[in-house]
Structure 1
Amino acid sequence: MNKADTTHLIQKQKAFFATGKTHSLAFRMHALAMLKRAIEIHEKEIHAALEADLGKSPFESYMCETGMCLAEITYQMKHLKKFASPRRVKTPLAQFPAKSYVQPSPYGVTLIMSPWNYPFLLTIEPLVDALAAGNTAVVKPSAYSPYTSALIQELLEECFDPAYVAVVTGGRKENSFLLEQPFDYIFFTGSQAVGKEVLRHAAEHLTPVTLELGGKSPCIVDSTANVKLAAKRIVFGKFLNCGQTCVAPDYIYCHESKKEELVSELKKQIMKQFGKNPLENPNYGKIINEKHFHRLQNLLHA
């Protein structure tokens, strides 16, 4: 997609939003129901794409991706009427005897830029919330997870008119074209470096932004800890998705009285959860691509 195509797409979405169709709760509910049905129908294909990109097992794919998306849709459909209803608030004395309320309303045309580590979840879950709130959406999945990105494009094109929900694939060039557009809201998940670029471009249009940029995630094991349980949970959290998780444990603060026991239990849990030959374990995934594999190797030997 070139710059002119991108501009035309945003104009189409702005025109569609201006019709007011997305303000209807019935319209939003129908959109969510269609998306939910599509995920259920294509669940095996989604899991196959996640396995091709990240080596995820069907169990892990459901637990961390499709299952969470389905749960979010169910939650939004259950509470949508409440979320969209006006809320009474106190009226200042100067406006007496008026009545005051807050009326939730959609932003308009939204951009969702998602990463490669949870490519289905972190694309579809924010899309669910955007649609539930009455927005249109342009979805830009990661180029690093090509199988899942292609599947997302196929699924969303099956469900929605691109004037309502569109998918743009590609890499940095397509990202640049999109960020030059005057979106009404941007939701980005990824690195701090790219997050700065997103925020810089958004500032040009005073576009509100949500940035989810990960961070550091220490584990604290104090003197009162159940060490076996702590080790079990730390290993699960660290090795899930081969550690490619923004909230994976980065380091451990351990009370000196528990150090030796914890180290021993961590070793036992790694063996118990993944076996002697983890690369042969179908429940253990892979690093997303060769570039990141070598990046991690260099970190280990630094």
Structure 2
Amino acid sequence: MRQSHSKSPRSFRREVGSWLFLLPHLFFFILFVAVPLVFGLIISFFNWSLLKENVFIGFNNYVRTWNDSRFWPTVQHTVIFALISVPLVIIVAILFAHILKKKRFGQLWLLVAFVSPAFFGSVGILSSWKWIFASFPSGLANYYLDKVGLINKAVSWFGSTSVAWGVIILVTVWWIVGFSILLYLGALQRIPPEQYESAKLDGAGPWKRFIYITLPWIKSVLFFDVVRQAILAFGLFDQAYILSGGGPAGTTRTLVYYLYLVGFERQDFGRAAAISWYIFAIVLIFAVIQLVLVTKSIRSTEG
């Protein structure tokens, strides 16, 4: 007897119902992700303006951006920020996740203190930090540093490139590390305690236990967090815009800051769209390199 390949009405209705549940997500994905991506790609080939006629210029926006002497310093600033901030956030998050894994009094309040900044808006958070690191004597940092005798005059926190970047990195780590702590805390709690006990009996110290037990167990979370942190690092804008204004002398301008200047201040939307595709390509390359390096390091520890 030949078997029929047609679907039963019940399985067909179940399949249609599944697709209907996906339709709202698909609609918003097309509306807010796919359409802007396609539109951005299209206008990157035009001299696009809101007031003038839009003229097709091919790859001219990409060539102009590539040859712009102000573009490459922003790439350098952003890459250096990513190379410093991404490992720093991950190290701090894993360290505090280890601390919070051990149940102690006040653990919940400590966790809330780390996680809560991630849920506040950038304007309120960064305005508060700008007041803390204000360059005049009554700024909070200058005031208390002067009180304890560490400085004898007000520090211009954003008058020096290295100090300005130090403040931006400090604020960024404080702001976004909470979500990473939650990720690693969840991963650490899944590790069987027996593995650590066996390693202790074999004489393994804390570092060896981390390398040979903890790291392999949290590798999937680490992969996800590396890519997430890389994307966040290359999207740096609010901290540089609100805290330092891109100064001193443009040394804290990032790729997204450069895009903002070209697109919104100069009203050159076609070139801004081309810059956005450059950012996408750089983020993709950086994320792939990080994933390869992390994969090799974890495989070497497992081997």
Instruction: Report the TM-score when normalising by structure 1.
Output: 0.22
> Which structure carries more helix by proportion?
2
Instruction: Report the TM-score when normalising by structure 2.
Output: 0.22
**Greater C-alpha radius of gyration:** 2
> Which structure carries more strand by proportion?
1
